[in-house]
Structure 1
Amino acid sequence: MTNQEHAPVAIISRNDETRLGTPLLVFLHGYGSNEQDLMGLSQHLPEEFTYLSVRAPLQAGPGYSWFPLTQEIDYSIDAVAHSVQALWVLLEPLAQQHSSVTLLGFSQGMAMATSLARYQRDSIDAVVGLSGFAVDPQPLEIFDDAKLEEYPLPMFWGRDLADPVITQDKIEYTLAWVPKHTELTSETYPQIGHSVCMEELQDVAEFLNTVVLKKN
């Protein structure tokens, strides 16, 4: 892996006037993947949304990452902050063109989705996290968790309890964080490992219909 940073790259499901005023859902892929990876999920999710899939900025093998990882799946808080702020620079002008903004992150992408919501709570309507975690911010001033305690974040979290990739310390931190900061819908899916299944996508679609679309 190199730490070379690339200019933002994103693909969008529709890029004409029909997207204006629609709810926006932003896909944030996992470590070592790219913007093409999650876009196919949109065919199983509500058609009312405009779907935007963003490529992470750092090269990671054949794919990309939001922030560097070690073999123990640790991370640099400073790198998380930099990546979150850069992502918001990309999304902020788009957010103003849509009725709501929902973030869907897989694995490291869930860390980014929850982090961006902790940075810009007023602009993020909901988060879907799949097989991932929330970061322990330590001394990170850009996160406003007090705001989320006052206005909890609607969140769906789906995972396999036996996920072989996300380390237990990160799961434990996330389990402690979500009750105080989110309105959580939590589901588990045995034997999917570190992946996504059709049952999970059906549950995500129901969450989006109930929590996001009914408020638009």
Structure 2
Amino acid sequence: MISPVVATAGSTDPASPLVVLLHGRGSHEGEILTLAEHLPVGPEYAAVRAPIPEGPGYAWFVNRGIGRPVAGSLRMSMGWIHGWLGLVAPPGRPVVLVGFSGGAAFAGGLLLDDPRRFAGAAILYGTLPFDAGVPTTPARLAGVPVFVAQGERDTVIPRDLQERTWDYLTGESGAVTVARRDPVGHTIAAPALAAMSDWLPSLTDTQP
């Protein structure tokens, strides 16, 4: 695979917490980097371009339906981004994942595959990658901080996957989950973004 294209904002200190921003299907790193303007000062924000061309943008995996990754494709992309993380985030540097839509599924896959690698994850308006080769067993995320936001009017992500994600993250996963639903469609609600901004400092030891 190609080397990652990464756009950054925030801290330039290589020891600062790293918040990895993962865009949705058909989007690109420049769009999701704008979230950094609304998030706490202190971390480095790194928006990574997904490796697979998709329409006007890029995707994290080949899917077999919306929110349903092909296991081999997901595994390949996870290995690819782990290679990058190994260079920019050595042991001891906190890494938080923030994914929107298809990026949420990818963030969820990374977290489920290796829960201890990450300080936490935000799953925004997406689904976990169920039945795609990563474990979703009870207590898999025991003690891991997770933020999940969904739109009550979201008709892009299948409702059954939204419900399954919500139930797993607030229940048997064992995660320490902050969960909210707002009266929006497939878009980030301003109150959800504010809540995530309040949540992040507890993971990165920064001040909002």
Percent identical among aligned pairs is 26
- Correspondence 1:122-201 to 2 at 5 A: 122-137=116-131, 140=133, 143-145=134-136, 149=140, 151-178=142-169, 179-181=171-173, 182-190=175-183, 192-201=184-193
Per-residue CA deviations over 1:48-91 (Å, capped at 9, x if unaligned) read 11000000000101100001235655431111111111111111
* Residue of structure 1 equivalent to 2:98: 104
* Residue of structure 2 equivalent to 1:210: 202
Unaligned ranges ≥5, structure 1: none
Unaligned ranges ≥5, structure 2: none
The alignment covers a number of residue pairs equal to 204
CA RMSD between the two structures: 2.3
Of the structure 1 ranges 72-81 and 128-137, higher mean CA displacement relative to structure 2 is found in 72-81
1:12 and 2:8 equivalent?
A: yes
Asked if the contact 1:95/1:123 (under 8 Å) is kept, the reply is no
Which residue identity is paired with 1:45? Answer: L
Q: CA–CA distance in 2 between the matches of 1:102 and 1:170?
A: 23
Which residue identity is paired with 2:195? Answer: D
Q: CA–CA distance in 1 between the matches of 2:138 and 2:115?
A: 7
C-alpha deviation, 1:162, in angstroms = 2.0
Which residue identity is paired with 1:174? Answer: T
Per-residue CA deviations over 1:107-150 (Å, capped at 9, x if unaligned) read 01011111111222222001011101101135x2xx35569537
Q: CA–CA distance in 2 between the matches of 1:93 and 1:168?
A: 38
Which residue identity is paired with 2:146? Answer: M
* Residue of structure 1 equivalent to 2:34: 40
C-alpha deviation, 1:177, in angstroms = 2.2
Runs of 4+ in structure 1 off by over 6 angstroms are: none
Asked if the contact 1:67/1:75 (under 8 Å) is kept, the reply is yes
